[in-house]
Structure 1
Amino acid sequence: MFGVLLPQSNMLSLSIHEGASSIQNFTIAAGIVLLIIGIFRVSFRGQPLPLPPGPKGYPIIKNAFDVPPKHAWLKYHEWSKHLGDVLHLSAVGQSIIVLNSARAISELLEGRSAIYSDRPWTAMTYEVGYQDSPVLTPSGPRHRTFRRLSSEVLGPRQVQEWRPLQEQKVQILVRGLLDSPQSFWTHIRRYTASLLLELSHGQVIQGDDDPFLKVAQEINNDFSELAVPGRYLVDIFPGLRFLPSWVGLASKKRAISARKIVKQGLRWTYRQVENQVANGTARPSFAASLIERNTNPSQEEIYIHQWVSLVTYTAGGDTSLSALTSFFLAMALNPDKQRKAQAEIDRVVGFGNRPTFGHRSNLQYVESLIKEVYRLNPAFPMALPHALNSKTDDEYRGWKIPKGSTVIANTWAVLHDANLYPSPFEFLPERYLEVQSSHEHSLKEPAAHTEAAEMNPDPRKFAFGYGRRSCPGQYLIDDTIFIAVATVLALFDIGPLTSGSVPGYTPYVISQPEAFACTIAPRTKAD
């Protein structure tokens, strides 16, 4: 029996051995097939996505010293002429994407706003404390709270309630121009500050040396300079911020002084309103309403209320100052456009009468003139930087946009794009009247599509920021500028220049004309 079983046992062992070999061979074959498939997939996938084009840079530091600290919008626009509308720079490992066209800005900052609405971290803004402000705070609950609170007082419907105050406050500008026209810069600043301070804190400006006014001026001047990416070496090499003060680093001293004035603006101005609310003497204002409706706020709520109130009167002030000084300069250089606007006001309002917001819809040329002021020299030539979120890379036009990239919209380049605005360096309010006519035609014939309808879009679409980071105060600012421009045109003649050559524009975040002088005189019937 055993003789019969032994060969069967050998056969069983042989079968098991052959089975194991078959499994092993199958495993090897499967591995080879998977390897071939992997190679096949990689070969068809190609190389990793390229970055957008940009200046070559240097080893290790790349483009760290290519980032322009002044008039950056001009340099980026120059590069875009031969590199394209989307640029990439790398500063010590940090990717910077510069968008130089309306298309790129719209598709990324508007179309993909969910992932392009963060703010980049920079050492200088962190040292000063700007990262806590509504303007630069990262995306998240605090930013959403800022937006909600701002919309309660600055939304398109809410700002209409402030128009009577604006029509009243423009009298400050009128009186100033009558008494001392050569000091028009001072009168413009006092007009805008007086309006915004009463709106935000219920404060009435007592004079040019008013402490509220001084705080606002210092904060705006500091922010315009310090928020420029790469303006200070510490933004390029953040580790420098840990050096002790005795080293004498310029950025360290500058940050200390700027942080001091920010704290004063936050705490001192808000505390004045708190005391007035407690004493029953507070005037109606944004800050007073925040205090009155929350009698037991947390420290976080107080901090948010302080920032929203502060930015309401500081951010709008310098934007308005830039636009209005640009308006005075444009009128001094373009007397024919000034006369045309004045003729329209005389026809609609009557000579010597003051325009109101009720006249605005009938002042089409004045409206176009204001649009051209926004376009030719925007207050923010480059929008404050956005950031792609840090979770994942993005792809755009076959390029890789690295996660965490700083994304800069070159508004100046868009507003001087000859494909959008023909003769972009000429002051031509008429361009928008032509667009209006084409839009009226397209309303009658919806299927019609003309090239003119694509030309000369409203510059306000670009001048006030993009996506979820657009300026919440844009409606208030636009109203403030309209009533001032219309009133000054109705009552005064501006120009010519008396200070020599045409001035340039300041080179930082908030840009405005360099100092200039021009004649300003009350209009006479002969005009």
Structure 2
Amino acid sequence: MLIFTNITWLDLCLASAGVYLIKQAFSKKNPAPYPPGPLGWPLVGNVADMPHTKAWLTFAQWGKKYGDISHVEVLGRHIIVLNSVKAAIELLDKKSSVYSDRPVLTMGGELVGWKYALGLLSYGDRFRYYRKNIHRLIGNRAAMDIYEPIEEIETRQLLKRIFAKPEQLQAHIRHTAGAIILRISYGYEVKENHDPFIDVADRAMNQLSRSTDTGAFMVDIMPWLAKAPEWFPGAGFKCLAREWRQTLEEMFSDHELNISQAAGVAPVSFTSNLLQGRTLSAEEDHMVKWSALSLYSGGADTTVSTIYSIFLAMTLFPDVQKKAQVEIDAVVGTDRLPSFADRNSLPYIEALVKEALRWNVVAPTGIIHCASENDIHDGYYIPKGSLIIFDMLEFHARFMLNDPQTYANPSQFNPERFLDNDGKDPEREPRTICFGFGRRICPGLHLADASIWLSTVMSLAVFDISKIVENGVEHTPEVDSSSGTISHPKPFKCSIKPRSAKAVALIQENVNY
């Protein structure tokens, strides 16, 4: 045992470099150069260049320096970063047969156990089975009609929670997002306070985001570290993985309970539709469980980030809030709450939701794609197995949803950029970018879009949102985001008050659907 006590990261890198050199000695010459990127070190490549937190900030700098496509190599693993919409569409959309695979994520997929979730699945039969089921049941706005009452019931509950305890805004949004997705997934109605399933699911979602964060764990670059014992230098991640796996197993056991409820007398749901009149094999049963769990994991956390960011934007940009409320009052009036039936009559609210999706990108680097075969693109060589990362965020960089050549004054929250103004064409539709590309585009995008729209329009109909004043001092929230695959605005304080006595009555009324 003592022979390992002086092992350092340098030793680990040199060991990996030895394997890399052996592979290089027998490899053929590349048919074209790699895309440009930072110059790496001999043997270990770009180990020192890889970011461990907020990876998108580093990728943004690479985009400014090297262009639309940049390349690094870490101990023989090639990483391609796409920093423009054009590059993302050309590879991930137009060449989707090559770039729709997923790499094996050792930390989040293998060690924690999320490898059967849709977002981490390799492209193949199981992936197509999940997608087919999700698309059939929630794959377009027409299919979502059956779930609209669920969304309206739970969003009304959100208004009541915010009214009662506005200081717990983020917790209320998270509770409501979980409640909606659980009712749609299983027909499960959550408890009003501290629902045990919501609590464990929140922990699991946070851990999923952290375990799949780009660059956060060296084991994703050097998979052989997974076989090292926990006391081995550099293997402390294994303790985290064990803890996070226990959370996932707890969550999965709850999902199995909800599966059995959905198969019985539960209301119509995603799972009850899959089980209706069918006897499943063990493999099909496993896929149904993970299909439902994938629907939950894909929707429970992402909408939380966007809705929370809308409250942040309304705090910082009061003129936008006033314009939205003027439209709501003119179209809907003040005697009822808005509903999905009003959506086509509220163009400014529609533009506001688009702007929220652009302004605060939920998944700033998306989920990593993987090249399933060798490719030459734009004169550059992209070898099979390369990790493909597409960058979406950084307020001062020229790319994706904050590219000033595409979006005027991108740091400003300006819904009017998506409206016809004085003969100017609207700016690029963000939903063609923020939900992903190609065969990996988010299958639950219509559900997410509907939840965000309804929460936004109902909240603005009844609440005034503003900067908080404490001890006579007005506080301006900071615009900053957390690390992780799912990025959330940092917690902030704001004032949320009913707009009128009528608004209070609308918040408190009970409506039967």
TM-score under structure 1 normalisation?
A: 0.84
Match of 1:281 in 2: 265
How many residues are matched? 462
Match of 2:455 in 1: 484
Structure with higher helix content: 1
Equivalent residues of 1:122, 1:229 under 8 A apart: no
Deviation at 1:236, TM superposition (A): 2.6
The separation in 2 between residues aligned to 1:492 and 1:349, in whole angstroms, is 15
| SS of 1:65 mapped into structure 2 | helix
Match of 1:89 in 2: 72
- Write the deviation string for residues 140-174 of structure 1: whole angstroms up to 9, x where unpaired: 11101011111122111211221122112111111
Equivalent residues of 2:47, 2:75 under 8 A apart: yes
Deviation at 1:363, TM superposition (A): 0.6
Deviation at 1:65, TM superposition (A): 2.8
Instruction: Choose from 156, 175, 178 the match for 1:193.
Output: 178
Equivalent residues of 1:220, 1:315 under 8 A apart: no
1:401 aligns with 2:382: yes
Instruction: Choose from 133, 146, 149 the match for 1:161.
Output: 146
- Mapping 1:346-495, distance limit 5 Å: 346-389=329-372, 392-412=373-393, 413-434=399-420, 453=425, 456-495=427-466
Match of 1:224 in 2: 209
Instruction: Choose from 93, 96, 115 the match for 2:98.
Output: 115
- Write the deviation string for residues 239-283 of structure 1: whole angstroms up to 9, x where unpaired: 111012344732101111112222222233223431563xx4323
Q: Which residue type is aligned with residue 477 of structure 1? A: A
Match of 1:446 in 2: none
| SS of 1:407 mapped into structure 2 | strand
The separation in 1 between residues aligned to 2:236 and 2:438, in whole angstroms, is 35
Match of 2:44 in 1: 61
Deviation at 1:229, TM superposition (A): 2.7
The separation in 1 between residues aligned to 2:347 and 2:71, in whole angstroms, is 41
1:515 aligns with 2:496: no
Deviation at 1:54, TM superposition (A): 0.5
The separation in 1 between residues aligned to 2:243 and 2:146, in whole angstroms, is 37
The separation in 1 between residues aligned to 2:54 and 2:205, in whole angstroms, is 18
Deviation at 1:52, TM superposition (A): 0.4
| SS of 2:495 mapped into structure 1 | strand
State the identity %: 35
Question: Which stretch shifts more, 241-250 or 481-490?
Answer: 241-250
The separation in 1 between residues aligned to 2:502 and 2:126, in whole angstroms, is 57
Q: Which residue type is aligned with residue 243 of structure 2? A: S
- Going from structure 1 to structure 2, the CA distance change for 1:234 and 1:404 (only over 3 Å counts) comes to same
The separation in 2 between residues aligned to 1:382 and 1:47, in whole angstroms, is 28
- Mapping 1:263-302, distance limit 5 Å: 263-274=249-260, 277=263, 280-295=264-279, 297-302=280-285
The separation in 1 between residues aligned to 2:500 and 2:276, in whole angstroms, is 49
Deviation at 1:182, TM superposition (A): 1.2
TM-score under structure 2 normalisation?
A: 0.86
Structure 1 stretches of 5 or more lacking a match?
A: 1-45, 439-451
Deviation at 1:497, TM superposition (A): 4.1
Equivalent residues of 1:120, 1:387 under 8 A apart: yes
- Mapping 1:241-260, distance limit 5 Å: 241-247=226-232, 249-260=235-246
| SS of 1:281 mapped into structure 2 | coil
Deviation at 1:526, TM superposition (A): 12
Deviation at 1:524, TM superposition (A): 2.6
Deviation at 1:64, TM superposition (A): 2.0
The separation in 2 between residues aligned to 1:414 and 1:467, in whole angstroms, is 16
Q: Which residue type is aligned with residue 120 of structure 2? A: L
Match of 1:176 in 2: 161
The separation in 2 between residues aligned to 1:323 and 1:193, in whole angstroms, is 14
Match of 1:502 in 2: 478
Equivalent residues of 2:368, 2:387 under 8 A apart: yes
- Going from structure 1 to structure 2, the CA distance change for 1:383 and 1:276 (only over 3 Å counts) comes to closer
- Going from structure 1 to structure 2, the CA distance change for 1:293 and 1:60 (only over 3 Å counts) comes to farther
| SS of 1:159 mapped into structure 2 | helix
Question: Which stretch shifts more, 324-333 or 503-512?
Answer: 503-512
Q: Which residue type is aligned with residue 314 of structure 2? A: M
Equivalent residues of 2:186, 2:261 under 8 A apart: no
Equivalent residues of 2:188, 2:258 under 8 A apart: no
Match of 1:136 in 2: 120
Match of 2:134 in 1: 150
- Going from structure 1 to structure 2, the CA distance change for 1:419 and 1:401 (only over 3 Å counts) comes to same
Equivalent residues of 2:74, 2:221 under 8 A apart: yes
| SS of 1:411 mapped into structure 2 | coil
- Going from structure 1 to structure 2, the CA distance change for 1:276 and 1:489 (only over 3 Å counts) comes to closer
The separation in 2 between residues aligned to 1:257 and 1:275, in whole angstroms, is 28
